[in-house]
Each structure stands twice: as C-alpha cells, then as structure tokens.
Structure 1
C-alpha cells in the first residue's frame, strides 16, 4: 500500500522553485533563551478546574473548564500558527488519583482535539515507561524501553505528554522546528529535498491489518495547506529493509535521512525540556520533531519514569497528511498505516 496524500509531490518533481519557509513555525535555539519562554504555569483557579474535572465522573463535558477553555484557544493558536509547541506546568497530579488523573487529562486534551488510537487495540492513553525489555526487533516499540529515541513525529496532528514521575537521570525531551530543518536542508543540499518528497517504505512493526503487506510507502515530506510538513520516523523507514518485498532504500534516501537527523541534533536547532511531575508537553506533529534522551530509572518500580501520552486529531487544522492524523487503526480496521513510534 502506498499512502498518497492529495498534496504529495510526484517523484522527479523539480524542487528548484522551493523557497525558505518564513513563519513563526521557523525557529532555532537562540529564539528561546530560557524555559520561561515556552512554559505556561497554571494558576490555582485553573488547577482547581482540572481537579473538578477529574472528580466529576459523568458530568457533561461542556460544563468543564469554564476558565481554561479560553486559555486552550490561546494554546491552539500557538500550536497551529505559532512556534508549534507549549509546555503547561502545574497539572494537579498531586491532588488526583490514577483514574481521576486520566479522566481530567483526557477531558483537557479533548478541548484541543479528538483522541485517537495509539496501538492496534485502539488505546487512547498510553503509559510511557520502561518495561524492562530490550528492543530485540522492530515489533518492540521504543517507548517501552529506556533507549534514546532520535528525532521523529507521531501518528496524529498533536501529541501530548503528561509527566507523572521523573527518571532518576536522563530522559530529557528535545524538540526542533521541522520548518527550520527544511530551510537548512534547502540551504545545504537542495537536491535532497526532492528525495524527501519521494515515497519511502515504512515498516508496520507487526501492526499491519490482516492480509496487508508488512510495510507501506509514504514520502517524508508533503505539502499541506501550501506548506511543507515533515512526517518522519527514520527507524521505521530503515526497519522496512527486513522485508524482502519492500523497495530497497537508495544511497540518496539514506543520505537524506541522515541529513535530517544531523541537523536536528545540532545544538542550535533544538531546545531541551526537563519534565517535572505535572508538566504537559503538547506538540504539533506537522511542525515539530521530538526526541528523547536515554535515561536511568529508579530501582523501585513505583518511582520509575512515567508519562501519559495522548494523540489528538485537531479540529481546526491539519497537522500531518491523511490518513496519518487519525492514529493507528484498530484491529477491526481494514487498512491503514501503523506509523508511530
């Protein structure tokens, strides 16, 4: 199966007419001198609304968050038309039980978009923690380990992470502007833009629907609403080569993948976030690449690093190409890519 968005460019298209992107979505590390420039601290009144939402089982969702709804509109604008990311600080994990935390987090996320499935079971909340396993093959998803995850995107318009507890050491989140990376690829190697606009094979990691091939094809770069959007998980592309029937990656394709990773990992192209319990990081997948450093966990499993992840399809904008913005199809679905970390 080849995923071909309506706005995808055809392999061989001339990219000589491409020009640098110029918007608030183009940024580098010097644009954010310290963490205060990206952090929104929730007020006590806003925290109280979240607590009420967590304890209000069965309450009409439209009656929740009377004050926070206007703030969510500001965050949505930053995500869709601004820098593409926000860090909320102060979600009251210290005042809510496990089920209440999940209920409040889902309700808060639902103001920004519709939660979508993150695995073949259709789970809309994923627990991100080290399961004491090793990634011995591509069917073991990296979030279940302590290993580093290089820069990538997720399978939805928005991805949100709520920190419940920190690692003993490491685990920092790194984020980079995909538009700034696009501009740098254009500056250094404009010939590789054409390569990134051409389809590449992606491993489905054993989550393919019955009767479907174990890989699909998709170009990492697609134009959406007149702007290039980078949907990128390099290890999914490289892992596709374990399937003999998948197209072989060319030297140019491998070089293009390496260039994206090289640029994103240069210090001036990314910012580093250290999560504290109660922090919520929200990213626009069409504008932001994110990575995670390897980490060392606490010996006590109850104290290990623990995040809750939400994938959201935004209501008012398209972050990534169809059909990728709708998460992973459930086992009942007939088809669709499983392009997630």
Structure 2
C-alpha cells in the first residue's frame, strides 16, 4: 500500500507594497489626514451617540474608509487616520462612533460581550523566555482598529513589522527554517487544538499569523492524537524572534488622542503593548479601544471562530 505524503511547500520571496522595512516609509505612506468636513461628519455621529440617537450617514467619510480597506488588503497593510474628534465626547460616544466606522469597513466581531474592547497600558512583563518572545496581535479577523483616547507622553511607542519582510529575511538567512514555518503545527486556542502554519499562500494570497506561545502551550499540555513538534520548529521560531527584533524592520508609532490605527494582522504584525481591561476599571494614562473586523476580501485560509 502506497502512503501519500503532502509535498513540502516551496516558499518564494514576497513582494508588493505590504513588504516594507521602517526605513522605506515616510508618514505619507501610512498617514491618512482627515479634512474638516469629514471630521464634522463624525462630530455629528458622536453627538448622536451621546443622545442615544441613530447615527447619521457617513457620506463624506465613506470614500476615505473605502481607501482604508484597499490600503489594508493590497497596500502597506496598515494606516493611521488623524484629525477625527474621537476624544472629545467621552468614551461611550467614541465606542459607538468606532463601531459605526467599523461597519463601513466590514462586519465587526464580538469580543467579551461587546465588539469594542477597552485596552490600557500593559504592566511590565516578568523575566524568562516567555517575556523574551515577541507577543503580536493574533486575533482571528481581517482588520484591527485601535482607537487612542489617551496616551501618556512617556508611553512606549507602538511597534509594527511587515510579515512579508520578516518572511524574506528568514528566507535569506535559513531556507530550511522558513520551510518549517510553512508546516502546520498544533496550537492551543480557546482550549481547542488547531493546526496552523505561520506562513501560508493560498490562491496566490500571502498570509501570516505568529502564535509561538500557543504552539508551545499545546506541546507542553498535549491533547489526544496530537503529534509532537518537529525537531526544527523551535530553532525556526528562535530565528523568527531574532528577525522580528531587528530595529531596521520595525516601524514605531506614537498615536495621539483621537488617532485611529488600522492594520491587517495577516500582513502586518503589531507588538502587544496594551492589555484588555474591564469597562468599569479606573482611568489609565493609556486608554485605547479595539475593534476586530471581518472584511469581504479575507486572507484567512482556515475557517476560524469570530
């Protein structure tokens, strides 16, 4: 009896606008300034939210949001909107307005009871290997919107890396390690075992999702039927971590109150610098809101729960 084996993937260098390093970019590549008329339209939406009234149509903002969707899917993979009055009407109105904007981009996904999640500054991590591993946003969605309501002057910057540029640098250093990162590995997510590769290309569409901690958690608490990690996966993860830590690759942003940062987590990896907080927790020097969005043109190659 012949046993069929799946051919190993044959990675190729990634190209296109979403493959960048920090030195390649200027603010014009990612900043989307908003004019006074568009800002006034959101102001009206915030005022309606404060009065618990239906939001007005965002006719002037709609073309800007359509451009944002294109930037996330086929452009740099991220952008920042500046000039919107999100921070002028209180957190509740900002949450409602953020949800309205998200509905223009796609389908907002529920979090713990609400699509909009409160994030505040993350306490310093302890020592050890877990702290040394970069922690990126790995939400199962096509876009993440992070709204800044407050950001202390001494807050750490927000770091973004191009997953395509990371891919290419790993390929340059060690093709065998890159091949390991194309192989699905079991990871533990929401208590369930799921196979997933870091890098995938399906129908010509590149996507990347880095979940080292979830993979190692599955390896230390094996589930029935789970295969052990391949011998080359941990060294491949170590190389990936080293590449992600390269200062030349990472773009550092310092959002201002009212700024809205949007990124496609399958093309751009953002370091986690914030932690989820309950809505009734005391105010913090760093106040953000997160909205996860499913979009019409999805790079998710495996059906994942919303």
- Superposition deviation, residue 174 in structure 1: 0.8
Taking structure 2 as the reference length, what is the TM-score of the superposition?
A: 0.84
Cα deviations across residues 117-161 of structure 1 (Å, max 9, x unaligned)? Answer: 23xx453111112587989xxxxxx9xxx9995345321011110
Taking structure 1 as the reference length, what is the TM-score of the superposition?
A: 0.76
- Superposition deviation, residue 239 in structure 1: 2.1
2:32 matched to 1:51? Answer: no
| Cα contact 1:168–1:304 (8 A) shared by 2 | no
Matches of 1:95 and 1:304, distance apart in 2:
16
Once superposed, what is the RMSD of the aligned Cα atoms? 3.1
The alpha-carbon distance between structure 1 residues 233 and 11, as it changes in their structure 2 partners (threshold 3 A), is farther
Structure 1 partner of 2:216: 238
Equivalent residues in 2 for 1:1-341, closer than 5 Å: 13-16=7-10, 18-33=11-26, 35-57=27-49, 64-118=57-111, 121-130=112-121, 150-167=135-152, 169-204=154-189, 207-208=190-191, 214-245=192-223, 246-293=226-273, 301-315=282-296, 317-324=297-304, 326-327=305-306
Matches of 1:149 and 1:276, distance apart in 2:
24
Cα deviations across residues 243-286 of structure 1 (Å, max 9, x unaligned)? Answer: 13354333311112222221122011120011111111100122
- Superposition deviation, residue 194 in structure 1: 2.3
The alpha-carbon distance between structure 1 residues 281 and 228, as it changes in their structure 2 partners (threshold 3 A), is same
Matches of 1:40 and 1:277, distance apart in 2:
15
3-state SS, counterpart of residue 123 of structure 1: coil
Matches of 1:252 and 1:152, distance apart in 2:
24
| Cα contact 2:39–2:85 (8 A) shared by 1 | yes
Stretches of structure 2 that go unaligned for 5 or more consecutive residues are 276-280
| Cα contact 1:157–1:313 (8 A) shared by 2 | yes
| Cα contact 1:150–1:261 (8 A) shared by 2 | no
- Superposition deviation, residue 323 in structure 1: 1.6
Cα deviations across residues 286-314 of structure 1 (Å, max 9, x unaligned)? Answer: 2111114589xxxx942431110010001
The alpha-carbon distance between structure 1 residues 234 and 168, as it changes in their structure 2 partners (threshold 3 A), is farther
Cα deviations across residues 178-225 of structure 1 (Å, max 9, x unaligned)? Answer: 111112222221112321122212222xx34xxxxx432222222233
- Superposition deviation, residue 59 in structure 1: 6.3
3-state SS, counterpart of residue 20 of structure 2: coil
Aligned residues: 292
Structure 2 partner of 1:7: none
